[in-house]
Structure 1
Amino acid sequence: MTTFVIKWTVKEHEAGLLREFLRVHKKISKSALADIKFSGGELLVNGKLSTVRKAVATGDEISVRFPPEEISSSMAPLPINLDILFEDDHLLIVNKSPGLPTIPSRYQTYGSLAQAVLHYYEEKGIQSTFHAINRLDKDTSGLVMIAKHRFAHSLFSMQQRNKEIKRTYLAGVRGTFNEKKGIISANIARNPESLIERMVSEHGQVAVTHFRLLKELGQNSLVALQLETGRTHQIRVHMSHIGHPLLGDDLYGGPVDVIGRQALHSWRVSFYHPFEEKKMALTAPLPNDLNRLFGHVEAEDWGINEYN
């Protein structure tokens, strides 16, 4: 089975103790270093086993072999096709189809993106468990970022907390707009009368959504959205709150006569790849059901690529 090995060359400003090189310059946590030490990992300097107390100099080659990861016994790998848009040793980005939950739940224990990824790892001999960087509702389609090891998950999660991962969603909603763009700022809380529903409430958590009109077709509209915050059901709650519920979203008042699920698609993501040391952006084309509603989306014509 494959374990993850990461290699670096020490730069002039990074010389010093190996511990400081790894903790300060490469952002490996104290707990991760303990895992490497006690759970089968290795630290090598110029090919020789070393400890964190080793002094490293400019030009030294550092290799970190992370220990194998335990695969969750609660999730059985399942042979479900994956639409993979990007993959390297650290990151997997897939275009999730509608109707597939990101992880199993009490309502659907069999069949999920997590189980599909575990099966894929099993086929490829990758010793890792499922590390979702973002999650999508079952009926929301589009981009899901998955870290292929704990260290990558830690770095991308840090970017997410710092709002450095930018996502653009496309949504089909009911109604036409007087304003071509706007900002929805309305706190979101659990609905005390429901196990899953959220609602706008002054006592809820701060939630901010930016929207931009792209296309109007009769009594329906296609909008692009970005989130400043990541509350559960945020887009669905906010669009319903301003009188434009998502098509197919019966939970929040959307009409169900034109599409069989909420018309929401995670379309674009941009981020900094910490291992490749470069900015990246990917898009996932609209699935067939949304294309039938709004026609082929020519993102460049509407300037969505510059929406970030």
Structure 2
Amino acid sequence: MERHGEWLHMTVPENWSGITIANVMKNKWKVPRKLRHDFRSNEKVLLNGSPPHWKTAPVRSGDILSLNFFQHEDFTLPEFEMELDVLYEDDHVLVVNKPAGMFTHPNGAADIQQTLWNGIAFYCRKQQLPVLPKYIHRLDRHTSGAVLFGKHALATAILGDMMKNRRISRAYAAKVHGLVENDNGRVEVPIAKDPAHPVKRMVDEDGQPAITNYHVVQRGQDYTLLSLKLDSGRTHQIRVHLSHLGHPLLGDELYGGQGDVLGRQSLHAAALSFPHPFTGEIITCAASSETTPFFTEEELRSF
């Protein structure tokens, strides 16, 4: 697999032999219909140097499939100058370590333009990237750690499908009030919006199903360090579930915690693992304590 200018050239693997371009795009890569239409109508896919008939021309092992991913696209997102802690990067994927206290992206307020995505826009211009990377998932403002971006439309679509089908694994470090009794546990209670609060969520039997798995890494004098993995992705899920457990996050005043005057919570997306969208190689990233005030490097080694 090699990039030359705007084009990516890849050799068709043996297990694709005999299937059509349409099959590759729809079933192998799960490309959305709108993006498939763009690729087909603008001849952004070539087979051995020529535009193929998508529905009839089969690919063969050893053929060269060329895709125009890297055509320059202008963007209007305001830039914010910041130093990014880049955990992994290639032509298709970018993973960065988000600081605590920063939004992942602008949330509609005109005065909130100092977000991670605005910082990515500055990085994009500085590094002369052809396309503005797009976030695949988000972290709460006061949660630090690894955030995944797709660096072109097809990578974003493939990674988005992986996220939807829970093929992307994330491990969170959390410090909670009190000493959690069981070394391992599972919180499985549904979550809904709190009708009495514009942002807050609550446990509600009529809410959406939510599952949080935890493991005790360390017990301190009056706190517990937990490793968390989610089987669902509800808004504020970890915060709600830990509060329901009786052990809210340090600093999380909204859900019963105390301890940070800046309103930050002791929650860090410490590890991120996913199959590469084109090679299938498992990429694993560890987010250091550089972006969080709550954890040391020694504490994060377990993640």
TM-score over 0.5 for the pair: yes
Describe the superposition over 1:84-118 as per-residue Cα deviations: whole angstroms up to 9, x where unpaired: 01000110000111111100124552200111111
SS in structure 1 at match of 2:295: helix
**Is structure 2 residue 235 aligned with structure 1 residue 232?**
yes
Structure 1: segments with no counterpart, 5+ residues: none
Q: 1:291 aligns with which of 295, 298, 302?
A: 295
Alignment-derived partner of residue 275 in structure 1: 278
Alignment-derived partner of residue 99 in structure 1: 101
Q: 1:37 to 1:214 in 2, by over 3 A?
A: same
**Is structure 2 residue 228 aligned with structure 1 residue 211?**
no
Superposition pairs for residues 32-71 of structure 1, below 5 Å? 32-38=35-41, 40=42, 42-52=44-54, 53-66=56-69, 68=71
CA contact (8 A) 1:72 1:129 kept: yes
Q: 1:285 to 1:12 in 2, by over 3 A?
A: closer
Q: 2:187 aligns with which of 184, 187, 198?
A: 184
Q: 1:177 to 1:29 in 2, by over 3 A?
A: closer
Offset, 1:298: 5.8
Offset, 1:129: 3.1
CA distance in 2, matches of 1:253, 1:297: 24
CA distance in 2, matches of 1:28, 1:118: 25
Offset, 1:46: 1.6
CA distance in 1, matches of 2:276, 2:154: 13
Output the TM-score relative to the length of structure 1.
0.87
Alignment-derived partner of residue 221 in structure 1: 224
CA contact (8 A) 2:105 2:117 kept: yes
SS in structure 2 at match of 1:296: helix
Alignment-derived partner of residue 171 in structure 1: 174
Q: 1:172 to 1:12 in 2, by over 3 A?
A: closer
Q: 1:242 aligns with which of 237, 240, 245?
A: 245
CA distance in 1, matches of 2:261, 2:219: 15
Give the percent of matched residue pairs that are identical in Structure 1 and Structure 2: 32
Count of residues in Structure 1 that have an aligned counterpart in Structure 2? 296
Structure 2: segments with no counterpart, 5+ residues: none
Q: 1:211 to 1:60 in 2, by over 3 A?
A: same
Q: Which deviates more, 185-194 or 258-267? A: 258-267
CA distance in 1, matches of 2:262, 2:112: 25
SS in structure 2 at match of 1:289: coil
CA contact (8 A) 1:6 1:65 kept: no
SS in structure 1 at match of 2:293: helix
CA RMSD of aligned residues (A): 2.3
Q: 1:234 to 1:164 in 2, by over 3 A?
A: same
Q: Which amino acid aligns with 1:232?
A: T
CA contact (8 A) 2:16 2:59 kept: no
Q: 1:254 to 1:242 in 2, by over 3 A?
A: same
CA distance in 2, matches of 1:167, 1:221: 20
Offset, 1:250: 0.8
Q: Which deviates more, 27-36 or 166-175? A: 27-36
**Is structure 2 residue 282 aligned with structure 1 residue 251?**
no
Q: Which amino acid aligns with 1:102?
A: T
Offset, 1:126: 1.9
CA contact (8 A) 1:41 1:66 kept: no
CA distance in 2, matches of 1:189, 1:71: 39
CA contact (8 A) 1:159 1:165 kept: yes
SS in structure 2 at match of 1:277: coil
Q: 1:69 to 1:240 in 2, by over 3 A?
A: farther
Q: Which amino acid aligns with 1:289?
A: P
Q: 2:143 aligns with which of 135, 140, 143?
A: 140
